[in-house]
């Protein structure tokens, strides 16, 4: 069994941390992002990984330099959220669990970018970390179908696969790790999703808008308030009227219709689109959002 330091932040990384501990590895230290405050006057809130480490009785720090004193054989990185400086990597070898089939979708938002691009297959790679952005040699790779999963659900699937792969890879100890294979193919980059990208532009095709909804944070406007669209599917047939026009729970788009499934009006709880339409009673001249001209 290996003595490790673990670097991670969100809930998806907790799966790997728990799997490593469950497999008998000694996690000497966990490094996560600093605690955050929610709302004015809110008390500090630990990251999901920090909270899990405290529950497991593992020392936690938000100082990356502290890994030097951990006496670890290897660092394991899962969705940490920061680039590891070269000076740290020179002191301790590290492997990273990345939720894509590298070199496709290097960067911060690989799952979201795979969904937006319409990829039918994604996966998990475990790579050796080096100073470049997700450029290191790959030690293990596993393909996973995207299907029609939303981002959170797909991340959950990938997190479970990544945890299994880590345990398998480390079962023979750190010294038995392979050097890894150089990444092959054209690199693409998964930039962080910006807030404005999540706005539904009804001039776009319904297929693209459906993918955007699957990121779980898509939104539009209705009567001056923000309306989140939490679930939707490409609809059958067509809807008369300009992009953004509502016909029941179907919305006209630049190409095809989008059938709304679950929405959340500003300041309210999620509800079915039918419940929202029955309560809001959109008029015949009302449209969602501020439709832009054709691109």
Q: What is the mean pLDDT of the chain?
A: 94
Q: 195-280 belongs to which CATH class? A: alpha beta
pLDDT, one tens digit per residue, over 181-196 is 999 999 999 999 999 9
Q: Which of 288, 107, 112, 81 is nearest to 197 (CA)?
A: 112
Residue from 113, 291, 96, 78 nearest 188 by CA: 113
Higher pLDDT, 293 or 117: 117
Picking from 134, 140, 151, 129, the residue whose alpha carbon sits closest to that of residue 190 is 134
Domain boundaries, the chain: 3-190, 195-280
pLDDT of 292 strictly over 50 = no
C-alpha count within 13 angstroms, C-beta hemisphere, residue 225:
11
* 281-286 average pLDDT score: 86
Q: Do domains 3-190 and 195-280 have the same CATH topology?
A: no
Distance CA 125, CA 139 (A): 7
Indicate the CATH number of 3-190 among 3.30.70.20, 3.40.50.1980, 3.40.50.170, 2.30.300.10.
3.40.50.170
Token pair listed for 258: 């989008």
Say whether 188 sits in a helix, a strand or coil.
coil
Check pLDDT > 80 for residue 293. no
**Among 17, 18, 19, residue whose Cα is nearest residue 5:** 17
What's residue 160's pLDDT? 98
How confident is the model over 149-183, as pLDDT tens digits?
999 999 999 999 999 999 999 999 999 999 999 99
pLDDT of residue 38: 66
State pLDDT tens for residues 83-129: 999 999 999 999 999 999 999 999 999 999 999 999 999 999 999 99
């Amino acid at each position: 069994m290996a003595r490790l330091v673990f670097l991670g932040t969100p809930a998806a990384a907790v799966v790997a941390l728990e799997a490593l501990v469950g497999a008998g590895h000694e996690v000497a230290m966990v490094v996560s992002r600093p605690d955050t405050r929610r709302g004015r006057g809110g008390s500090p809130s630990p990251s999901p990984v920090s909270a899990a480490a405290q529950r497991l009785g593992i020392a936690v720090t938000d100082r990356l330099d502290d890994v030097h004193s951990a006496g670890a054989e290897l660092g394991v990185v899962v969705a940490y959220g920061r680039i590891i400086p070269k000076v740290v990597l020179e002191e301790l070898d590290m492997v990273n669990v990345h939720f894509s089939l590298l070199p496709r979708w290097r960067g911060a938002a690989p799952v979201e970018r795979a969904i937006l691009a319409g990829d039918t297959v994604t996966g998990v790679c475990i790579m050796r970390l080096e100073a470049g952005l997700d450029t290191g040699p790959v030690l293990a790779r596993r393909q996973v179908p995207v299907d029609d999963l939303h981002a959170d659900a797909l991340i959950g699937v990938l997190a479970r696969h990544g945890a299994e792969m880590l345990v398998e890879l480390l079962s023979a100890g750190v010294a038995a790790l392979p050097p890894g294979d150089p990444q092959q193919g054209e690199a693409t980059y998964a930039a962080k999703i910006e807030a404005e990208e999540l706005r539904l532009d009804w001039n776009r095709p319904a297929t693209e808008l459906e993918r955007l909804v699957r990121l779980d944070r898509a939104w539009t406007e209705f009567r001056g308030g923000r309306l989140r669209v939490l679930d939707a599917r490409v609809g059958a047939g067509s809807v008369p009227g300009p992009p953004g026009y509502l016909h029941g729970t179907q919305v006209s788009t630049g190409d095809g219709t989008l059938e709304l499934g679950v929405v959340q009006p500003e300041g309210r709880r999620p509800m079915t689109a039918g419940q929202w339409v029955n309560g809001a009673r959109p008029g015949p001249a009302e449209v969602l959002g501020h439709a832009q001209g054709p691109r």
